Chain A
Amino acid sequence: MREKSQTQSRIPGEPGIWAFVTGDLLVFSLFFILIAIGNQEQGGVFSSARSSLDLRFGLANTLLLLTGSFFVAIGVERYRLNDGRDNRIWFRLAILSGVIFLINKVFEWNAKVSDGLTPMTNDFFMYFFVFTAIHAIHVFVGVVILSFLHKKSQAPFTRETQRGLESGAIFWHLVDLLWIMLFALFYLV
């Protein structure tokens, strides 16, 4: 799997994006811990609230983001190969997965609210709505970044553009990664 040009270790993307990733992970770690503490202190409330979540929405969203990440990873890899092919399709597909995720989220929130479950209902739903909203903003920003990547992937190969693509991709993967944990904490546990 390793390309010949990468036998030496290097920082994927640029250092700044990793600084941002670190920061984001710290913030979301706080969020995860808050959910866990809530679960510990109000186990009954949390587990009954959790059971009113529709696992299908969560599962679909997880698969959407995983697949989106997959496409982005391929897109970046193909760009590096620099074999003249049009790699934009991969980013378009990833954008599609992000957009469907957001639409899905809106439907899901809507369904909950129509059932009378709002951020003010209990602490589980407080965390659920707020953190999935903050995450959804990340997805939205990710989609915007992907549209930049989509354009850039057409550009002639330069190390700079490669790093830019990698950095954008890393943000997208971060978004995916954060959802994995949110999915586990909100839907599965």
Chain B
Amino acid sequence: MSATTSSVLAQDSLSRKSLAFCGYTGYAAIILFIIGGVWLGGMLPPIPNANDAPAELVAKVNDNLLNFRIGSIFMIASFALFGTFGAGMAAQTRRFETSPVFSYVQIVFAAAGTTIALLVAFAWSLMVFRPDTYEPSILLMWADFAYFLALFSVPLFGGWCVLIALPIFFSEPGREPFPRWVAYVNLWAALLFAPGQMVIFFKDGPFSWHGIVAMYLPFIAFFAWIAVMSWVMIKIAHDENS
């Protein structure tokens, strides 16, 4: 790992534990989403489609009502942990800033990202709350809302990745908050999120919110990114020299 000029962490066992904790919450977020979004909730693979007729969506929702409802609970638990995950990365960045700037920026983006994610779970839960009372097109809007929040927010989530990479590039070599390869992985993650911005133009095909390029790619990349960054945080926390 990076050479040490700040030996604070080495002697500070609370900081170590805290950073490791944040890393583990990242793993937890992934597992909770696999339960809530993949297995039960029908978000990935998407059970709704962007080109569903409203009546079709109502039928799909009614067919999966209980699963979607329980899934929403797991999803909101998952997304709340984006906060701890993000704060951990900001804290690690902070350790290498004498006058903090990027750690503040990261906190802002982590908070925004967590809020957006929470809204995704809210939208999903409202979609399945009273599907026969709402106009069918309102259900469609909740589905649209959920996926737009997740996918159309590239400057936020992609930006977050860039703002993790930049302080690494700007640091003196050897004094980087994370190893340089982490910066490149974050840039690649941002690239993989980028196609999500296209969902506004298409209701079918690879660039729609149920599409291979605009949905699967960013979603999978996002959780892979969480996995990698969590691993890095845990490694730094346990590394005696950091």
Q: Do chains A and B touch in the complex (CB under 8 A)?
A: yes
User: Which size bracket describes the interface of B in this complex?
Assistant: 20 to 34
Flag if B194 contacts A126 (CB, 8 Å).
Answer: no
Closest Cβ of chain A to B24, distance in Å, is: 26
Q: Is the CB of A17 within 8 A of B184?
A: yes
- Could you say which residues of chain A place their CB within 8 Å of the CB of B206? 34
Report the contact-size class of chain A (Cβ under 8 Å from the partner).
20 to 34
With an 8 A cutoff between CB atoms, is A27 at the interface? yes
Asked if residues B180 and A14 are in contact (CB atoms below 8 Å), the reply is yes
A128 to chain B, nearest CB (A): 12
B198 CB–A CB distance under 8 Å: yes
Q: Known contacts being A24-B191, A130-B198, is A16 close to B180, with CB within 8 Å?
A: yes
Q: Check B188 against A160 for contact (C-beta < 8 Å).
A: no
**What is the predominant secondary structure among interface residues of chain B facing chain A?**
helix
Q: Is the CB of A20 within 8 A of B188?
A: yes
Residues A16 and B207 in contact, CB atoms below 8 Å apart: no
CA distance A156 to B211 in the complex (A): 49
Query: Do the beta carbons of A27 and B202 come within 8 Å of each other?
Result: no
The answer, yes or no, to whether B86 is at the interface (CB within 8 Å) is no
Closest B residue to A16 by beta carbon equals B184
Measured CB to CB, the closest approach of chain B to A146, in angstroms, equals 15
Q: C-beta contact mask, B189-204 vs A, less than 8 Å → 1, else 0?
A: 0011011001001100
Closest A residue by C-beta to B195: A134
User: A138-189: which residues lie under 8 A (CB-CB) from chain B?
Assistant: 160
B119 interfacial by beta-carbon distance below 8 Å = no
Q: Assess A120 versus B180: contact at CB under 8 Å? Given A27-B192, A30-B213.
A: no
Interface: A12 (CB within 8 A): no
Inter-chain contact B181/A15, CB cutoff 8 Å: yes
Please state if B201 and A119 are interface contacts (CB–CB under 8 Å): yes
Q: A16-B181, A16-B183 known; A130 and B188 CB under 8 Å? A: no
Interface string of A41-60 (1 = CB under 8 A from B): 00000000000000000000
Cβ A120 vs Cβ B195 within 8 A: no
From A34, A119, A123, A137, contact of B213 by CB (8 A):
A34
Are B202 and A20 touching (Cβ within 8 A)? no
C-alpha spacing A39/B114, complex, angstroms: 41
Nearest CB in chain A to that of B200: its residue: A119
CB pair B181–A27 under 8 Å, yes or no, is no
A1 within 8 A of B: no
A19 within 8 A of B: yes
Q: A126 touching B181 by the CB < 8 A rule?
A: no
Instruction: Tell me the smallest distance from the CB of A106 to a CB of chain B, in Å.
Output: 17
Report yes or no: B195 in contact with A130, Cβ–Cβ below 8 A.
Answer: yes
Can you list 14 A-B contacts with CB-CB less than 8 angstroms, sorted by A residue number?
Answer: A15-B181, A16-B184, A17-B184, A19-B185, A20-B188, A24-B191, A34-B206, A34-B213, A120-B201, A123-B205, A126-B202, A126-B207, A130-B195, A130-B198
